[in-house]
């Protein structure tokens, strides 16, 4: 089996998720490649012991990412750092000749994204992708297959969103994800928006224009010492877009909703498509449940509720009747990235990571949304 030696830059919440996926690689049964974690970089030394205790393969721990990039053993990098560092670190990773799975938003703003994409263009030999795991859920994989077969007919409407409620509590202390200098002007769009864009973009539902409603709901939060400090990022965004149906040629409304203050929603990613012949709805709130409506003229409009099992793009040891969860979607995403690095067979359009060009489209959309809200205008994307 081909071994791809990885380094992690940014060993926090998401760095640990990748490390854990590496440790669980035996779960996948048909892979021709596996990752090996050999190097970890983080500014925070308190994170090292967990990695050292659990991954004897790690031979380099450093606080300086340039040292990790100088390590000839490292072939590929997972980078999960705050958004203000994406441009510099992603560009340096690419220039060092390493494959990269970077985190969204792939640059704090459009300028940073342009700089990263210029480096991507200069290095066509590298596989560079952006992380997004929810499309790997079985219900979403089924919707992807239905889109391929034109089950829906002419598209009437698509709604896609990612809703959190952790910021509903105004006493929650501020962290970098609520500070413009680290998280960026996009606020919740930069943090959550790519999740809501990946699947519609992959389906070819490209927004032509947008009217955005943005809200700043909690304007101050407790800082490190408990004193209130300004919280300036957008909490909620609703993007009303017009998109073209690539198969049938007519325009339809596409709503993209990234929100941090959505009561009752712990971590809800949802997608809904309505067409003249069929409709589908899936949400991570009830992840087994796929709702489908197939309509033939004159028939009843009966909505089927299907309990999907553990049906995955990349085969695993788990029996098909069992439940699929967030960490499974992360493992599937990594299986897809490793497959791309090693030139393995694709598992289809909807079972692969966000491309750099798709991140460019998300930046065009979020920048247009900022203009739209500022000018109360409809903006071209
Ligand atoms: N795909 C997902 O589901 C998902 C979920 C959460 C976050 N994210 C993304 O992952 C990225 C990181 O988010 P997180 O939640 O893991 O944040 P985090 O704060 O838990 O981790 C970021 C880490 O980067 C480290 N860091 C900061 N500056 C550094 C530097 N110069 N060199 C090395 N390390 C440095 C910090 O010490 C921290 O440990 C962001 O881009 C975020 O948008 C993705």
Cα separation of 43 and 195, whole Å? 27
Check whether residue 46 and residue 192 sit in a common domain. Answer: no
Pocket test for ligand 1, best of 16, 40, 82, 164 (most atoms within 8 A of CB): 82
Number of domains composing the chain: 2
Number of Cβ within 10 Å of residue 271's Cβ equals: 25
- Residue 89, helix vs strand vs coil: helix
Centre of ligand 1 to C-alpha 321, Å, is: 34
How far apart are alpha carbons 330 and 300 in whole angstroms? 38
Instruction: Quote the radius of gyration of the chain (alpha carbons, Å).
Output: 21
156 and 119 co-located in one domain: no
**Ligand 1 pocket: which residues have CB below 6 Å?**
9-14, 41-44, 47, 65, 80-83, 85, 103-104, 131, 133, 191
- Inside any domain, residue 249: yes
Mean pLDDT of 19-26: 98
Boundary (domain end) residue, out of 79, 95, 130? 130
Same domain, 145 and 294: yes
Neighbours of 320 (CB within 10 A): 11
My answer on whether 222 and 141 are in the same domain is yes
Q: pTM to 2 decimals?
A: 0.97
- Top mutation candidate among 7, 9, 14, 333 for ligand 1, by most atoms within 8 Å of CB: 14
Counting from 1 in the atom list of ligand 1, the atom nearest the Cα of 132 is 1
pLDDT at 335: 98
Prior bond to 105 cis, omega within 30? Answer: yes
Quick: pLDDT tens for 233-274. Answer: 999 999 999 999 999 999 999 999 999 999 999 999 999 999
* 10 shares its domain with 90: yes
- CATH number at 75 reads 3.40.50.720
Nearest atom in ligand 1 to the alpha carbon of residue 10 is 24
- Protein residue with least CA distance to atom 39, ligand 1: 12
Identify whether residues 70 and 38 lie together within a single domain.
yes
Q: Is residue 170 one of the residues assigned to a domain?
A: yes
Q: Six-digit token pair at 221?
A: 């939060």
Q: Do 251 and 367 belong together in one domain?
A: yes
The pLDDT score that the predictor gives to residue 308 is: 96
Task: Report in angstroms the alpha-carbon separations of 306 from 290, 291, 301.
Answer: 5, 6, 16
User: What Cα–Cα distance (Å) separates residue 193 from each residue in 97, 112, 164, 176, 279?
Assistant: 29, 17, 12, 17, 23
User: Does residue 139 sit in the same domain as residue 242?
Assistant: yes
Same domain flag for 155 and 245: yes
- 232 conformational bin, left if phi > 0, alpha if psi -120 to 50, beta if neither: alpha
Q: What is the CATH number of the domain that holds 281?
A: 3.30.360.10
Confidence tier at 158 by pLDDT (50, 70, 90): very high
CB burial of 204-226 (b: ≥16 within 10 Å; e: otherwise) equals ebbbebbbbebbeebeebeeeee
Tell whether 325 is covered by a domain.
no
| Same domain assignment for residues 7 and 35 | yes
Residues 209 and 182 in one domain: yes
Cα(376) to ligand 1 centroid in Å equals: 33
And the tokens for 265? 């929603």
- Whole domain around residue 34: which residue ranges? 2-130
Instruction: Answer yes or no: do 21 and 92 share one domain.
Output: yes
Which pLDDT tens digit goes with each residue over 56-77?
999 999 999 999 999 999 999 9
Dist CA 89 CA 54 (whole Å): 26
Q: How many CB atoms lie within 10 A of CB 298?
A: 5
How big, in percent rounded to 5, are the helix, strand and coil portions of the chain?
35, 30, 40
């Amino acid at each position: 089996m081909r071994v791809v030696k990885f380094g992690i830059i940014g060993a926090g919440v998401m760095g640990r998720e990748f490390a854990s996926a590496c440790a669980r690689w035996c779960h996948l049964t048909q892979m021709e490649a596996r990752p090996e974690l050999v190097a970890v970089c983080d500014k925070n030394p308190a994170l090292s012991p967990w990695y050292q205790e659990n991954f004897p393969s790690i031979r380099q721990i450093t606080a300086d990412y340039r040292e990790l990039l100088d390590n000839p053993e490292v072939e590929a990098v997972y980078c999960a750092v705050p958004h203000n560092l994406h441009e510099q670190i992603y560009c340096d990773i690419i220039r060092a000749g390493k494959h990269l799975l970077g985190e969204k938003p792939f640059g704090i703003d459009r300028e940073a994204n342009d700089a990263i994409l210029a480096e991507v263009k200069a290095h066509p030999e590298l596989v560079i992708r952006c992380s997004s795991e929810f499309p790997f859920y079985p219900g979403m994989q089924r919707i992807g297959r239905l889109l391929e077969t034109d089950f829906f007919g002419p598209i009437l409407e698509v709604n896609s969103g990612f809703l959190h409620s952790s910021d509903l509590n105004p006493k929650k202390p501020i962290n970098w994800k609520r500070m413009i200098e680290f998280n960026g002007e996009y606020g919740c769009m930069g943090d959550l928006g790519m999740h809501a864009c990946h699947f519609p973009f992959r389906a070819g539902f490209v927004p032509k224009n947008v009217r955005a409603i943005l809200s700043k709901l909690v304007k101050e939060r407790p800082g490190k010492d408990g004193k209130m400090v300004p919280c300036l990022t957008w909490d909620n965004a609703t993007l009303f877009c017009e998109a073209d149906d690539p198969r049938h040629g007519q325009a339809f409304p596409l709503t993209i909703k990234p929100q941090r203050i959505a009561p009752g929603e712990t971590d809800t990613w949802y997608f809904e498509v309505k067409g003249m012949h069929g409709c589908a709805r899936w949400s991570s709130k009830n992840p087994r449940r796929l709702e489908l409506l197939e309509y033939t003229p004159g028939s009843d409009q009966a909505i089927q509720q299907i309990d999907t099992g553990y049906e995955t793009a990349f085969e695993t040891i788990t029996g098909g009747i069992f439940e699929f969860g967030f960490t499974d979607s992360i493992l599937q995403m990594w299986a897809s990235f490793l497959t791309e690095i090693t030139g393995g067979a694709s598992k289809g359009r909807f079972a692969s990571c966000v491309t750099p060009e798709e991140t460019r489209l998300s930046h065009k959309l979020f920048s247009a949304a900022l203009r739209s809200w500022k000018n109360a205008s409809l903006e071209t994307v």
